[in-house]
């Protein structure tokens, strides 16, 4: 099945259930984004939240970014389609990034790690972040970028979309969307090595799964196409090596 066969609401539901699955967490090496904790720390350093700041974490997943951002003393509100796995005590609201349930001009900073690529309507999601930020509020997006003419066939599956590669746009488009939403002072910091490392990790674990399945030691998780996933991972790795796929941090702010 390709993403073209699915309505945006079905794609969103696929994303939410994919990341709520512990098995997927294992496959991704325990972090739901490239660069793991180290890259979230880098994002936090660049955003520099202050002790009395209120920070919005869009598509907060298991709350990993919030935990790090809160080390500064800031308060973090997470929002995700799926909040069941959020840690106890964390503030996590179940909602769609394209329709944030917050009033205007409320947050000092907003982050969105490895998730904008999953939103079918990226322009609306960025406008929503802009709306909820106070004037002068900072934006920190970490995301996959993909610079190809036509999505390679191996990456056209729903699995490649929910795995953050099939729905990614190129860096210029991403910066353009942020500009159209109203953000200024945009800057991009590239971390392609984090994407390569992440892909390599997923590939090794997928090869392990395939071997274990061959030995009859692992029941196939429902609907898992290991060969299709391996083909997608191989293609994504090639694109990263060619400089056509990358990961990075997009910084910006809402004008004061
Ligand atoms: C790759 S994970 C990243 C999670 C977290 N930001 C992190 O880096 O650990 C993507 C997250 O996006 C969430 N998500 C996908 N589409 C969404 C949407 N339209 N609105 C809110 N959350 C969404 C998923 O439920 C999942 O938790």
The per-residue pLDDT for range 104-147, each reduced to its tens digit, is 999 999 999 999 999 999 999 999 999 999 999 999 999 999 99
The residue to mutate among 33, 80, 128, 191, having the most atoms of ligand 1 within 8 angstroms of its beta carbon, is 80
C-alpha pair distances (Å), 180 with each of 46, 103, 252: 22, 21, 12
How many domains are contained in the chain? 1
Assigned token pair, 153: 């066939």
Decide whether any atom of ligand 1 lies within 6 Å of the 254 Cβ: no
CA 197 remoteness from chain centre = 16
How many angstroms does the Cα of residue 234 sit away from the middle of ligand 1? 24
DSSP string, the chain: -BGGGS-HHHHHHHHHHHHT-HHHHHHTTT-SSTTHHHHHHHHHHHH---TT-EEEEET-TTSHHHHHHGGGT-EEEEEES--TTSPTT-EEEE--TTS--S-TT-EEEEEEES-GGG-S-HHHHHHHHHHHEEEEEEEEEEEEEE--SS--GGG-BHHHHHTTSTT---HHHHHHHHHHHT-EEEEEEE-HHHHHHHHHHHHHHHHHHHHHHHTT-SPPPTT--HHHHHHHHHHHHHHHHTTSEEEEEEEEE---
Q: How confident is the model at residue 220 (pLDDT cuts 50, 70, 90)?
A: low
Q: How confident is the model at residue 218 (pLDDT cuts 50, 70, 90)?
A: low
Q: What is the mean pLDDT of the chain?
A: 92
Domain membership of residue 242 as a residue range: 3-253
Decide whether any atom of ligand 1 lies within 6 Å of the 168 Cβ: no
Assigned token pair, 43: 């994002």
Decide whether any atom of ligand 1 lies within 6 Å of the 143 Cβ: no
Average pLDDT over residues 202-206: 89
How many angstroms does the Cα of residue 80 sit away from the middle of ligand 1? 6
Atom of ligand 1 nearest to the CA of 119: 19
How many angstroms does the Cα of residue 84 sit away from the middle of ligand 1? 12
Q: How confident is the model at residue 4 (pLDDT cuts 50, 70, 90)?
A: low
Average pLDDT over residues 97-110: 98
Atom of ligand 1 nearest to the CA of 59: 22
**pLDDT at residue 175, as a whole number:** 98
How many angstroms does the Cα of residue 223 sit away from the middle of ligand 1? 21
Backbone conformation region of residue 89, classed left if phi is above 0, alpha if psi is from -120 to 50, else beta: left
- pLDDT above 70 covers a percentage of the chain that reads 94
**pLDDT at residue 124, as a whole number:** 98
Q: Which of 46-55, 88-97, 236-245 has the lowest mean pLDDT?
A: 88-97
Higher pLDDT, 5 or 220: 5
Does 189 score more than 80 pLDDT?
A: yes
- The CATH number covering residue 56 comes to 3.40.50.150
pLDDT digits (tens, 9 = 90+) for 61-90: 999 999 999 999 999 999 999 988 777 767
Q: How confident is the model at residue 27 (pLDDT cuts 50, 70, 90)?
A: confident
């Amino acid at each position: 099945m390709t993403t073209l066969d699915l309505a945006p609401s079905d794609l969103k539901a696929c994303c939410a259930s994919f990341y709520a699955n512990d098995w997927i967490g294992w496959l991704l090496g325990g972090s739901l984004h490239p660069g793991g904790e180290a890259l979230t720390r880098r994002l936090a350093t660049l955003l520099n939240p202050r002790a009395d700041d209120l920070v919005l974490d869009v598509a907060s997943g298991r709350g990993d970014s919030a935990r790090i951002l809160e080390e500064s003393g800031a308060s973090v509100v997470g929002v995700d389609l799926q909040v069941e796995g959020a840690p106890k005590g964390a503030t996590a609201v179940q909602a769609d990034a394209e329709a944030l349930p917050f009033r205007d001009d409320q947050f000092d900073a907003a982050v969105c790690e490895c998730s904008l690529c999953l939103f079918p309507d990226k322009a609306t999601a960025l406008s929503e972040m802009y709306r909820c930020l106070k004037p002068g509020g900072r934006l920190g997006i970490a995301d996959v970028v993909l610079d190809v003419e036509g999505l390679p066939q191996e990456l056209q599956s729903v699995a490649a979309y929910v795995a953050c590669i099939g729905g990614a746009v190129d860096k210029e488009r991403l910066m353009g969307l942020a500009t159209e939403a109203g953000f200024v002072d945009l800057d991009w910091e590239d971390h392609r090595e984090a994407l390569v490392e992440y892909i390599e990790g997923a590939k090794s674990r997928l090869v392990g799964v395939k071997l274990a399945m061959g030995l009859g030691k692992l029941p196939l998780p429902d609907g898992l196409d290991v060969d299709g996933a391996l083909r997608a991972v191989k293609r994504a790795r090639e694109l990263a090596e060619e400089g056509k796929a990358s990961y990075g941090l997009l910084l910006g702010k809402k004008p004061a």
